[in-house]
Structure 1
Amino acid sequence: MSGPGGMAGAPHQRSMDFAGSAKRLIRRFGPERGWLLVMLLVLVVSVGLSVLGPKILGHATDLVFGGFIGQKLPDGLTREQALEGLRTSGDGGVADMLSGMEFTPGQGIDFGAVGTVLLTVVAVYAGTGLLMLWSGRISARAITNTVFRLREDVEAKLSRLPLSYLDKQSRGEVLSKVTNDIDNLGQTLQQTLGQLINSLLTIVGVLVVMFWISPLLALVALVTVPLSALVAMRVGKRAQPQFVKQWKTTGKLNAHVEEMYTGHALVKVFGRQRESAETFKEQNDALHKAVFKAQFISGIMQPAMMFVGNLNYVMVAVVGGLRVASGTLSIGDVQAFVQYSRQFSQPLTQVASMANLIQSGVASAERVFELLDAEEQSPDPDTAHAERPTELTGRVELKNVSFRYTDDKPLIDDLSLSVEPGQTVAIVGPTGAGKTTLVNLLLRFYEVREGRILLDGVDVAAMSREELRSGIGMVLQDSWLFGGTIAENIAYGTQDATREQVEEAARAAHADRFIRTLPDGYDTVLDDEGTGVSEGEKQLITIARAFLSDPVILVLDEATSSVDTRTEVLIQRAMERLASERTSFVIAHRLSTIRDADVILVMENGSIVEQGTHDALLEAKGAYARLYKAQFAEAVAEVD
């Protein structure tokens, strides 16, 4: 078909906007804000219990250590007397250390109190686990619903995209955005959303408790935070472009694989297996390099953050030991603080290690948003203002129509044409003359730049596309079938058709005979490639589909190009019956198929250079006669 050649398969390039895409992704969760608020509250309680655990466990350590110390001291003394006795005997350092602890001289370990504390810790951690489970369920629900709506939006968007968008994008690239990128986005959200919120809350909660226990140690723990942030920012900045490149390269590779799979017969016929394999190898190598770089760079994050976390642990242990020695803190508090330092560095490491997933997910989201942001076809007029013909008879008028795919390449210029109801109009001309483009304008696959197209006196731009196209049946040179039975394929455009009507349409299209030779007849299941039937048989099925839709206007774009000569003659006769009371547009390269057309339009460079009947155009000895003689000479050469 006529179109902007050379543009298919080139992915749209634009600058990366990580922050903007991330914010836009967050806004997609708007309808789930209620559930997200519940999840946030559950996580706050869960993190609060989790943060209390080490502090409570530290109290158990103090009870054990206090009991151990108490049983070593003489009974009958007070705590202060015991400390004073140690200082008097020259053990001032030990006295300073014990001054920060609770103990009773002469009394051993209170196992009852220790048991109560341990049971409390078990209950706290059990509650934390249950709340985390609940928050995970809420998170999964919110994410699943959001991705579900995103898929719906993408599906709706595809139906609103103009044909020009699909002409400029390879099918594999679009499929990659609709499938791979949305799947990757969903998996990323499932793996990071709940964990990310939990990690951030944990960081805040642990900091609060650390400052409560010891502001000095808390400040020591915070010393490594700027270093952690610097590592995360530097690594993330280098990794993000690689993830964008990874998913763009994935789209290119998918496009190549899809094209080679659908055209594998031609690839083998023309001996292009080696070239195809080399192209695959090049794109696969590019994807391998992009994935390796993205994963390697982002993989640096976790070991770097673990190193920073270990520095934090060492500093807390050293300063905490000094505070215990001075009697400022108890051993239980330092033990809790060491656990808190781990609890503080762990979520930082988790957040940093999730950076690669987040970057990959946002890169996919950016590609999906790129599809959602694509320019849409002009909207239909609303129902109240939409115009419609009083009666569809099939009268078509083109008044001073101009169109071009690109501004610098005119295609159709100031074209006027009038077709009466019931006429068969054949459109011929060299490749690129604008034949298929003329039909695309009638169907509003493209919008005219200037002029008007009228259907029964009504401008098609003032009609809804659905109503316009409901009266037009179309059979293309490239047959299209979907996965389903043959009967379902024939009835695709007429959902309420009965089996008798389906079979009658098949007989009219001369498809009934070969269908009944199949094992399951009309119930034979085809895949979307039509495996099991020939190209000519697939075309007969699509012609039967057009018969069944009973259109007012019939468009045939080389509809018989894939059938044998005998079947072509039979279809021509059937088409004559079908077109007897309908307006028909027939795009043909074989001029022998349009001898009986009421009007033959000869197009060159987007203009009608001749029009008339077959005999009249031959007598004129113009462009049509030259085309006819060229085909006749070609046919003689083939016979010779």
Structure 2
Amino acid sequence: MRKYEKSSKGEMASAMKKIIEYMKGSVGIVAVALVLAALGAVLTIIGPDKVGEITDLIADGLMTGIDLKAVARVGIFLGAIYISSSLFTFIQQYIMATVTLKMSYRMRSDLSRKINCVPQKYFNSHSQGDILSRITNDVSTLQQGLTNSLPTIISAAAQFVGCLIMMFVTEWRLALISLFITFLGLFLIVFIMSKSQKFFLDRQESLGKLNGYVEEMYSGHEVVRISRGADNVKEHFGGLNEAVYNANWKSQFLSGMMQPLMNVIGNIAYVAVCVFGSVLALNGTIKFGVIISFILYVRLFTSPLGQIAQGMTNMQTASASAQRIFDFIESEELSDESDKSSEVPEVKGNVSFENVRFSYPDTPDKVIIKNFSAEVKAGQKVAIVGPTGAGKTTMVNLLMRFFEINSGSISIDGTPISQLSRETVHNMFSMVLQDTWLFEGTVRENLVYNMEGISDESLERVCKACGLDKFVHTLPEGFDTVLSESVAISAGQKQLLTIARAMLQNAPMLILDEATSSVDTRTELLIQRAMDKLTKGRTSFVIAHRLSTIKNADLILVMRDGDVIESGNHETLMAKGGFYAELYNSQFDQAS
């Protein structure tokens, strides 16, 4: 059963309760705004009675003379009422806009903070586009719903109740007729709302999936083109787009029925008031001014129901967005490590893996790392090789504490990493991944990302070591050139920039995950020389599929099916003629 198929009656109430708890500091001012909205509506209700009074003054004075002073007095009072009502409405709209904008600001800040607190498994089960949709689209939808719809519902409800009271005070028989017709429409609205809520949640969820797919496909559009997968992408996109269309159509169709329905109910009430009011007026039971007042009351009485219906439609959308937002905010977080020191100790670089066992949280029965053990001495260059799916990258993720091991231990200089905070472990390493990450900013900003006190001399030295100096000097503004789509930069140059960034970090240990996979042979040689300098005296872990790049490694760990099946340097492993020798020779044969 999908989430939205749960009882929809409690979903909006649950979402509103969470919103109220989230806005604890602003509940008082919001209450003031809602009171002003109600007062504005109540003042509007007095108008029809005064209009009827003016009508009676004019009708009574047709034969004896109209009392213009009395008419002017009532008119001035009526004007003051309408001005006060408009002023109250403006103030409440200003308050609600201010409060909800602050709420959305805080909510986006909390969502941004949450991204750094959720475990890696959350990102494995949710697309980036879906998470971005919650931060952008859902927060905006919630903010607009609270700003526009909540005061409308309150003022409309106050107007409805006030009109009902005034109608019974003015003429109870006409009030009963109007009430019967109107409540028939209200019953239909409640029924429609109960059926439409699930489609509003479906709309937000399908939109999140669509955003995720668009972000994923557009970021890899070159691969899609090369693979001739455009037709498949269009077909899948069409399916997701159709899901969004269907959810929108169903939700809008059902909610769109409310306003026309209330118009029909209002027109029927108009006819009933005119017919029965005329009969009562002809009998002398009521005055003509009562009919005029009641015609205005019917408009004010049925109009709030239409406003409530529209407001509830918008609040359903806001409720669906709120559920998605709080689903993320309330999701599981990484365990608290405030009791662990965040200071990076002096690191020598001895790393020990002892009987490490690991399976991903969403597939606990599928063991990825079965019984991994290895000893790495300080300053060694360790290469981890093996076929796809052997567990190479998983081991690095465990070393960095992106995931927690099921059993066994991983230690750095004799200290289990579980006793160190994640931040401490991360600060011990520099990482260069296969997927490069550069943002729109200057070359300097990309190189010194989150680092301080980096001099131009250090930048020049690192770029020269990486073979980037010539590239940087050919740029229009050198290190101050903004990297954007207008700047031609190859995949290999992007990789070199990320490697230079790792050099500048100067961490005691290194992780290189397919760092040379996107460069040509000549650039690879430059990187290898730079890496030899960089890794000297530092413990480094190198994951590589091209075995020719790790021949000079001090220790090669050969993995297969989650275990280390061979270890040693290149010469030793080749002499054994085992699995590593088979991998190396097969690559050599393919190359030749």
| TM-score of the two chains, using structure 1 as the length reference | 0.87
Cα RMSD after superposing both structures: 2.2
Q: Flag the 1:31–1:496 CA change in 2: closer, same or farther, 3 A.
A: farther
Matched, 1:575 2:531: yes
Aligned equivalents of 1:593, 1:329: Cα separation in 2:
100
Q: What are the ranges of 5 or more consecutive residues in structure 2 without an aligned counterpart?
A: none
Q: Equivalent residue for 1:392?
A: 347
Partner of 1:549: 505
Separation in structure 2 between the aligned mates of residue 265 and residue 278 of structure 1, nearest angstrom: 18
1:125, distance to aligned residue in structure 2 (A): 0.8
| Number of the residue aligned with 2:210 | 253
Distance 1:463 1:476 in 2: 23
Identical counterparts, % of pairs: 41
1:592 CA displacement: 1.0
Q: Give the whole-Å Cα distance in 1 for the aligned partners of 2:193 and 2:453.
A: 56
SS at match of 1:532: coil
Which AA in structure 1 matches 2:109? E
User: Gaps (5+ residues) in structure 1?
Assistant: 1-11, 72-106
Partner SS, residue 540 of structure 2: strand
Answer yes or no: is 1:404 the counterpart of 2:359: yes
TM-fit CA distance, 1:303: 0.8
Whether contact under 8 Å (2:428, 2:507) holds in the other structure is yes
Mapped to 2, the partners of 1:499 and 1:37 lie a distance apart of: 57
Map 1:506-521; keep pairs closer than 5 Å: 506-521=463-478
Residue 562 (structure 2) aligns with: 606
**Shift of residue 225, structure 1, vs aligned partner:** 4.2
Paired amino acid for 2:391:
G
Shift of 1:387: 7.5
Conservation of the 8 A alpha-carbon contact between 1:139 and 1:193: no
Q: CA deviation at 1:466?
A: 1.5
Q: Does 1:196 align with 2:153?
A: yes
The whole-number CA distance in structure 1 between the counterparts of 2:486 and 2:15 is 40
* Shift in CA distance, 389/109, structure 1 to aligned 2, threshold 3 Å: closer
C-alpha distance in 1, partners of 2:130/2:189? Answer: 32
Residue 231 of structure 1 contacts residue 305 of structure 1 at CA under 8 Å; is this kept in 2?
no
Work out which of the residue numbers 408, 413, 417 in structure 2 matches 1:451: 408
**Contact kept in structure 1, 2:20 and 2:27, CA below 8 Å:** no
Answer yes or no: is the 8 Å Cα contact 2:381–2:539 preserved in 1: yes
Partner SS for 2:556? strand
Match of 1:177 in 2: 134
Deviations 1:571-609 (A, max 9, x none): 111111111121100001111111111111001111111
Task: Report how far residue 156 of structure 1 moved.
Answer: 1.1
Superposition TM-score, scaled by structure 2 size: 0.94
Q: Deviations over 1:68-122 (max 9, x none)?
A: 2xx2xxxxxxxxxxxxxxxxxxxxxxxxxxxxxxxxxxx3211121122112211
Q: Retained in 2: the 8 A contact 1:324–1:330?
A: yes
* Partners of 1:404 and 1:410 within 8 A in 2: yes
CA distance in 2, matches of 1:184, 1:532: 38
3-state DSSP of counterpart to 2:545: coil
Name the structure 2 match of 1:40.
34
Matching residue of 2:75 = 118
- The one of 464, 475, 481 equivalent to 2:421 is 464
Q: Mean alpha-carbon deviation: is it higher for 408-417 or for 244-253?
A: 244-253
Residue 18 (structure 2) aligns with = 24
What are the superposed Cα offsets for residues 490-541 of structure 1, whole Å, 9 maximum, x if unpaired?
Answer: 11141442333233322222222212112222122124x7962111000000
CA gap 1:552/1:123 in 2 versus in 1, 3 angstroms: same
Distance 1:223 1:390 in 2: 78
Aligned-partner Cα distance in 2 for 1:500–1:277:
50
Q: Which of the residues 359, 364, 389 maps onto 1:432?
A: 389
Q: CA 1:40–1:169 in structure 2 vs 1: closer, same or farther (change >3 Å)?
A: closer
Distance 1:217 1:45, change over 3 A: same
Deviations 1:300-326 (A, max 9, x none): 111112112222333333343344344
- How far apart are residue 338 of structure 1 and its match? 2.3
Bigger Cα displacement from structure 2, 45-54 vs 603-612:
45-54
What code does the residue aligned with 1:550 have?
A: N
SS at match of 1:414: strand
Equivalents in 1 of 2:364, 2:279: separation in Å?
A: 78
Is 2:175 the counterpart of 1:218? yes
CA change 1:513–1:365 in 2 (3 A) is: same
Amino acid at match of 1:570: L
Aligned partners of 1:387 and 1:462 also within 8 Å:
no
Query: What amino acid sits opposite 1:398 in the alignment?
Result: F
Q: Which letter does structure 2 place at the counterpart of 1:487?
A: R
CA shift in 2, pair 1:486/1:245, >3 Å:
same
Deviation at 1:62, TM superposition (A): 1.4
Cα 1:29–1:13 change in 2 (3 A) is same
Query: When the two structures are aligned, how many residues end up with a matched partner?
Result: 586
